[in-house]
A = this chain, B = another copy of it.
């Protein structure tokens, strides 16, 4: 399992998305270079959002141009609409773009309406248009929200999630991130869904994208790991979630903290393939960049001494 573990560092996109102050482009580049040096096989680099809607990512092109790339790693840019894919294509075709993009859908109708301002049917038409426009340039990630429960509709039928995943697959999208957008997943619902989707859609690679809104993010990651999941999204310091403009009834919505996830997996004997010392100094750097202590416990306490002694069961 260890050779296959793929942790994606989401700090620079999902993490920064909520930050009110624009972070200097060079700082973003420094962050991404550190993430590459740590050895992350996937990095969320930026978003081709409308700069008027999300000024933080107005420098998407410059960030992708400025950063150093590690061979074999994937650098993702989020694409919210067709215009975003066209911008991604221009940067890609100029030789300095992303090599991974994500296309967003919601598992519930209400969340699609509120978050994407379109019905699910409309959004799936857009996704088809975007996938076509991408023209085989990228590894495309289907990013599905509210998979384990919706703040507006509460229960989300796993059968609907399976249909949405099948739609992605029909469009040639072979990687789907299953988003627990407001922290409603449980170890049971995670294992149950993983097993169902691996049976029904064996060609799909599933990505655990769990928010820690109710403190259960890491427990759900362990459940996913036990169900065979090897792909995880997390963010240094546990920052991120959703743009503050979109209200889900408030509350804490950060991602699983990378340092806590990596500490636990390594303590379990699961090799993450990452440079742990470089990770911990980068955690400090991220806190310095945002000017405040973040949410990771391991940032305060340090890595488990059991990791170096390899004494796990």
Contact = CB atoms under 8 A, between A and B. Distances in A.
Contacts of A296: 215
Contacts of A222: 187, 219, 222-223
A164 interface: no
Given A312-B186, A312-B189, A215 B154 contact: no
A166 to B, nearest CB: 21
Given A260-B214, A260-B216, A306-B149, A252 B155 contact: no
Interface string A145-179: 00001010011000000000000000000000000
Contact of A311 (B155, B221, B260, B303): B155
Given A154-B309, A264-B219, A249 B213 contact: no
A278 interface: no
Contact of A312 (B188, B219, B250): B188
A312 B268 CA distance: 28
Contact of A214 (B155, B249, B263): B263
Contacts of A312: 186, 188-189
A195 to B, nearest CB: 11
Interface string A180-198: 0011101111001000000
A83 interface: no
A182 B264 CA distance: 13
Contacts of A298: 214-215
A125 interface: no
A252 B311 CA distance: 23
Interface in A256-288: 257, 260, 263-264, 267-269
Interface string A200-228: 00000000000011111011011100000
A131 to B, nearest CB: 32
Q: For the side of the interface on A, what is the size category?
A: 35 or more
A193 to B, nearest CB: 9
Contacts of A309: 154-155
Nearest to A256: B215
Nearest to A222: B219
A120 to B, nearest CB: 20
Contacts of A260: 214-216
Interface string A71-108: 00000000000000000000000000000000000000
A312 B185 CA distance: 9
A297 interface: yes
30 contacts: A149-B304, A149-B305, A149-B311, A154-B309, A155-B309, A155-B311, A183-B297, A184-B305, A184-B306, A186-B312, A186-B313, A187-B268, A188-B312, A189-B312, A212-B297, A213-B301, A214-B297, A214-B301, A214-B304, A215-B264, A215-B296, A218-B218, A219-B264, A222-B223, A249-B301, A250-B300, A251-B300, A251-B302, A252-B297, A252-B300
Given A183-B297, A301-B252, A306-B155, A313 B188 contact: yes
